[in-house]
């Protein structure tokens, strides 16, 4: 206990008895109230020496008897001895009270700890149950996702093969159709050239109509061939210099540019990544439409350039014209195969060009866009991936 060296058990007991008896005798002789503190010290020493309360009482009564047997004992000494004993007992009383309080507190803490441990066991059991349940759900969901992924992969392979087969079939069919169409066209030309003077005007007109029909069929077959090439064309992206490609395409379309009396502005354009063949198809069709579809009696005005795209690392390639525009209710339909805004007599074409543009955009991970109002021209665009600069 507090600052007291505890001797061995027997020696401690005797030392405690001697200390108590000596202190009590001193107080009984003097009656000095200050010496009552010696009762506290003696009792604390005894308590530290593990002296039981009963033995502490025996210390008192043994010392008192020894003192009373000595000459000069009196009733006053008894009163002082009683006071001294009560002061010593106060130490034991405080110790006992502290023990009871500590015991009650300890019991409460033990009960609370048991309750917490029980709750922890319940929570641990519930967490384990939920973990096992979650593991089962995850395993089940993983198996479902795996089955779904395998199914999608299988369907993707089937779709890829179907597209390839369709492209091959379309190409073969179109290629085989070109021969008889070319033959018909040649025979009609021969009839007009060799027998024009002998044919009635009505027959000559019919032959000329048939020649035009054969020409349209040949153009349609060529367009279908182009479409099948784009559909079945697998490519590895490579650098495409738009600044060089656009003038080459316009040079190939020189006759159409002259007939449209076109004014063409080509802006600065970067190098993009993609298929040179498909991007050429895209630009050829967009520029051809911009030159063909113009307002009656007016020269065509065409702008070709690149602007910012929504996605980072891409640029929007656009072709804008000053034509009659496209009504809002037709802006989605024009990208379908064989959908046309005008009859063939008004504007020649097969209705495949914009469908080709749509497919090219999809093959490059984007979509073909259109901005147009009736009578205000149209702007077609597609976001292409920019070539990454070296060192970035």
Q: Residues 172, 298: one domain? A: no
Report if residue 63 sits inside a domain. yes
Domain range enclosing 248: 234-386
Radius of gyration over every alpha carbon of the chain, rounded to an integer in angstroms:
55
CATH of the domain at 296: 3.30.565.10
End-to-end CA distance of the chain: 77
Report if residue 189 sits inside a domain. no
CB 287 within 8 A of CB 252: no
Exposure string over 344-378, b if 16+ CB within 10 A, otherwise e: eeeeebbbbbbbbbbbbbebbebebeeebeeeebb
Q: Residues 241, 170: one domain? A: no
Q: What is the pLDDT of residues 170-212, one digit of tens each?
A: 666 556 666 677 777 777 777 777 777 777 878 777 877 777 7
Q: Residues 165, 238: one domain? A: no
Q: Which residues pair with 368 in a beta bridge?
A: 382
d(CA 302, CA 281): 18
Q: How far is CA 13 from CA 7, 87, 340, in A?
A: 9, 19, 120
Q: What is the pLDDT of residues 358-377, one digit of tens each?
A: 888 988 889 888 888 777 88
Q: What is the pLDDT of residues 282-328, one digit of tens each?
A: 898 889 888 887 777 778 889 999 988 888 889 999 999 888 877 77
Q: How far is CA 260 from CA 238, 294, 322, in A?
A: 33, 8, 12
Report if residue 87 sits inside a domain. yes
Q: How far is CA 124 from CA 120, 127, 228, 230, in A?
A: 6, 5, 64, 62
Report if residue 190 sits inside a domain. no
Q: Residues 168, 22: one domain? A: yes
Q: What is the count of structural domains for the chain?
A: 2
Report if residue 370 sits inside a domain. yes
What pLDDT, on a 0 to 100 scale, did the predictor assign at position 323?
83
Q: Considering only 56-60, 196-200, 245-249, 349-353, which range has the smallest mean pLDDT?
A: 349-353
* Helix, strand, coil percent content, the chain, rounded in steps of 5: 65, 10, 25
Q: Residues 149, 5: one domain? A: yes
What pLDDT, on a 0 to 100 scale, did the predictor assign at position 74?
57
Q: Residues 309, 379: one domain? A: yes
Q: Residues 150, 240: one domain? A: no
Report if residue 268 sits inside a domain. yes
Q: Residues 306, 381: one domain? A: yes
Residue from 221, 220, 217 nearest 173 by CA: 221
Q: What is the pLDDT of residues 88-139, one digit of tens each?
A: 777 776 776 665 555 566 667 777 878 888 888 888 888 888 888 898 899 9
Last-in-domain residue among 177, 209, 225: 177
d(CA 179, CA 187): 12
Exposure string over 206-227, b if 16+ CB within 10 A, otherwise e: ebeebbeebeebbebbebbbbb
Residue from 25, 36, 23 nearest 15 by CA: 23
Last-in-domain residue among 158, 177, 196: 177
Residue 168's Cβ-side half-sphere holds a number of Cα atoms within 13 Å equal to 6
Q: What is the pLDDT of residues 326-363, one digit of tens each?
A: 777 776 777 765 554 544 444 454 567 788 888 889 88
Phi, psi of 158 (to 5 degrees): -65, -45
Report if residue 136 sits inside a domain. yes
Q: Residues 156, 64: one domain? A: yes
Q: Residues 125, 248: one domain? A: no
Report if residue 296 sits inside a domain. yes
DSSP H/E element including 40: helix 37-48
Q: Residues 276, 344: one domain? A: yes
Q: Residues 10, 134: one domain? A: yes
Phi, psi of 306 (to 5 degrees): -135, 145
What pLDDT, on a 0 to 100 scale, did the predictor assign at position 1?
40
């Amino acid at each position: 206990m507090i600052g007291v060296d505890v001797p061995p058990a027997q020696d401690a007991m005797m030392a405690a008895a001697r200390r108590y008896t000596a202190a009590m005798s001193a107080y009984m002789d003097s009656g000095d109230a200050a010496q009552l503190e010696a009762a506290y010290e003696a009792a604390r020493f005894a308590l530290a020496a593990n002296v039981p309360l009963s033995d502490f009482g025996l210390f008192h009564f043994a010392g008192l008897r020894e003192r009373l047997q000595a000459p000069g004992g009196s009733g006053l000494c008894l009163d002082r001895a009683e006071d001294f004993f009560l002061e010593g007992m106060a130490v034991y009383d405080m110790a006992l009270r502290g023990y009871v309080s500590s015991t009650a507190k300890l019991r409460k803490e033990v009960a609370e700890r048991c309750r917490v441990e029980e709750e922890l066991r319940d929570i641990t059991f519930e967490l384990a149950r939920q973990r096992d349940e979650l593991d089962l759900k995850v395993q089940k969901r993983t198996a479902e996702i795996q089955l779904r992924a395998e199914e999608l992969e299988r369907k993707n392979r089937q779709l890829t093969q179907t597209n390839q087969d369709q492209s091959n079939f379309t190409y073969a069919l179109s290629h085989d159709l070109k021969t008889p169409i070319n033959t018909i066209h040649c025979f009609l030309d021969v009839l007009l050239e060799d027998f024009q003077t002998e044919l009635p005007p009505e027959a000559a007109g019919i032959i000329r109509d048939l020649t035009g029909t054969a020409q349209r069929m040949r153009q349609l077959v060529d367009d279908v061939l182009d479409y099948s090439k784009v559909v079945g064309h697998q490519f590895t992206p490579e650098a495409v210099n738009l600044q060089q490609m656009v003038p080459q395409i316009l040079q190939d379309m020189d006759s159409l540019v002259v007939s449209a009396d076109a004014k063409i502005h080509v802006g600065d354009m970067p190098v993009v990544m993609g298929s040179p063949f498909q991007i050429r198809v895209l630009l050829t069709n967009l520029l051809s439409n911009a030159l063909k579809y113009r307002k009656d009696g007016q020269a065509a005005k065409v702008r070709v350039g690149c602007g910012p795209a929504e996605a980072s690392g891409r640029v929007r390639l656009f072709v804008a014209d000053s034509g009659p525009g496209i009504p809002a209710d037709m802006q989605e339909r024009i990208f379908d195969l064989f959908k046309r805004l005008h009859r063939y007599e008004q504007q020649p074409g097969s209705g495949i060009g914009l469908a080709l543009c749509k497919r090219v955009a999809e093959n490059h991970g984007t979509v073909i866009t259109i901005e147009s109002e009736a009578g205000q021209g149209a702007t077609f665009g597609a976001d292409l991936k920019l070539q990454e600069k070296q060192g970035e």
